[in-house]
Structure 1
Amino acid sequence: MHYQEYKSILSPKNGMNIYRGCSHGCIYCDSRSSCYNMKHDFCDIEIKRNAPQMLEETLKRKRKKCMVATGAMSDPYIHVEEELLYTRKCLEIIDKYGFGLSILTKSNRILRDLDLLKSINKKSKCVVQMTLTTSDENLCSTIEPNVSTTKERFETLKIMSENGIPTVVWLSPFLPFINDSEENFQRLLDYCIEAKVYGIMCFGIGLTLREGNREYFYEKLDECFPYMKQKYIKTFGNSYECHSDNHSKLMKILYYECKKHSILVGVDNVFSYLNSYEDKNSNDQISLF
């Protein structure tokens, strides 16, 4: 790992990444793509040295409260967070100034900060998001080697729900010929239903590949799934979007189950919810005096 000074922390849409790079080792990771112009090795984690200070200065100046999002490009609970506590420090600042939080992770390390998540949710809104890809624990250890197991993530979602914190599950990605079966998809939906998730984000059944992550993905296919790379090349060529043949069938199942169990679904709908700030301390009652 190494440190780097930055001049800003929040994007125009109030997203932030405290770290650059990742140690989770997911074989399909889009963040490896060359288009993100990372100047260092992906596994050499770059730490934004002054991230908490930048965040505090930014939130101090904001005239209107909003949701602050993190986890889109780099998981806020990668291994170095155990020692550095940068994510926790940023959550303390979000809590201090009464902003909302939308946080995405694949790690049950987030449970360490349950006290802050509850405090943020009490004042405004805190949404914990987790990615689920496979119900097969052995397959999980292959395609996501250094993250919490699917069952650990499922247990984390349940704990969040039990503490009144809304959750959203990202069902993504589904690697054609590997984890795109109806059986796997239904089991993941069952996890979501049992964990009482508020919403499900699913961009479709498949994955995206572009320069940078395609090469790494194919390298891992050769290592873990012999002859699978040739099947991908024959089926998808250099396509950016690699759709599963099961796309239509599984998306119908998704919408059916979500309607049946009153789970928010649809990318636009879920994003709208994630970006919608709530102030639970506002006094909207009409004074009697």
Structure 2
Amino acid sequence: MHEIMAKGILSSKNGMNVYRGCSHGCIYCDSRSHCYGMDHKFEDIEVKVNAPELLEESLKRKRNKCIIGTGAMTDPYIHLEEKIKNTRKCLEVIEKYGFGVAIHTKSNRILRDLDLLKKINKKSKCVVQMTLTTYDEGLCKVIEPNVSTTKERVEVLKIMRDNGIPTVVWLTPILPYINDTEENIRGILDYCIEAKVKGIVIFNMGLTLRDGNRQYFYKMLDLYFKGLKERYIREYGNRYEIVSKKNNHLMKILRETCYKNNIICDINEVFKYMRTLEEDKTNVQLKFDI
């Protein structure tokens, strides 16, 4: 890790990342892409040591309350958070000034801050977003080696449910020939139903690859899925969007299941929900970066 004094913390759409880089080791991570201009090794995590102070200065100046988003580029509950507590300090600021939060993670470390999340949700709004990619615990440890297991993440969703905190699941990415099976999708959907999630974010059954994350992904395919890299190159070339051949079938299952169980799966509707402070708490709607 290395520390910096950041010049700013909130984007123009009220998104923030208190860290840059990650220790989760997910084989498909888009944040490795060169287009984001990270000038240090991905695992050498950049810590914005003044993030809480910058956030407080920003929220002091805001005339209207809004949702603060975090976790779009770097998981706010990476391993360093246990010691540094930058995420918790920022949540304390958000709670202090009465703002809402939409927080995205793959880690059950978020349970440490359940007390703050409950306070924020009572005063404003808190939405916990959790990524689920595979129902298979063994596969989970291969494609997402250093994060909470799927079952541990589902337990987080249930605890949030029991505490009145709404949740959204990112069912992405779906990797062709790895986790693009009906069994996997139905398994994850069963978890979502059990946890009573509010919505599911999915663009299609696939993933995105570009310079930076493509090279790392292919390296991991060579390590764990022999011969699959060549198949990807043969079928997809250098495409940015990689869509499973089972996309239509699996998306049909997802939409039908969500409809039957009152789970929002329309992308625009899910994002609108996460970005909106309800009328009984505030009359203001603003947006943040996803």
**Structures share fold, TM-score greater than 0.5:** yes
Map 1:259-270 → 2, pairs under 5 A: 259-270=259-270
Residue equivalent to 2:288: none
Checking the alignment, whether the CA contact within 8 Å between 2:172 and 2:205 is kept in structure 1 is yes
For 2:120, the aligned partner's letter is I
Kept in 1: contact 2:23–2:78 (CA 8 A): yes
Identify the residue that residue 127 of structure 2 maps to in structure 1.
127
Conserved 8 A contact 2:170-2:201? yes
Q: Could you tell me which residue of structure 2 aligns to residue 64 of structure 1?
A: 64
Could you say what secondary structure the match of 2:242 adopts?
strand
Q: Which residue of 2 aligns with 1:47?
A: 47
One-letter code aligned to 1:258: C
In the superposition, relative to structure 1, how do residues 278 and 97 fare at CA in structure 2: closer, same or farther (>3 Å)? farther
Q: Percent identity?
A: 66
Q: Distance in 1 between matches of 2:123 and 2:185?
A: 35
Matches within 5 A, 1:1-289: 1-278=1-278
Give RMSD over aligned pairs. Answer: 1.1
Instruction: Answer whether contact 2:65 2:282 (CA < 8 A) is retained.
Output: no
Structure 2 length-normalised TM: 0.96
Equivalent-residue separation in structure 2 for 1:200 and 1:281 (angstroms): 24
- TM-score of the aligned structures, taking structure 1 as reference length: 0.96
Shift of 1:279: 6.5
Cα deviation for residue 282 of structure 1 reads 6.3
Structure (1 or 2) with the larger CA radius of gyration: 1
Instruction: In structure 1, give the amino acid aligned to 2:208.
Output: T
Residues 122 and 280, structure 1, Cα contact 8 Å, conserved in 2: no
CA contact under 8 A between 1:131 and 1:171: conserved in structure 2? yes
- After superposition, the Cα gap between the structure-2 partners of 1:204 and 1:282, relative to the gap in structure 1 and judged at 3 Å, is closer
- C-alpha separation in 2, matches of 1:258 and 1:183: 16
Q: Tell me: CA distance 1:241–1:223, structure 2 relative to 1, closer, same or farther (3 Å).
A: same
Where structure 2 has 5 or more consecutive residues not aligned to the other structure, the ranges are 284-290
Distance in structure 2 (CA, Å) of the matches to 1:17 and 1:175: 26
- Runs of 4+ displaced beyond 2 Å: 278-283
SS at match of 1:264: coil
> Structure 1: which 5+ residue stretches go unaligned?
284-289
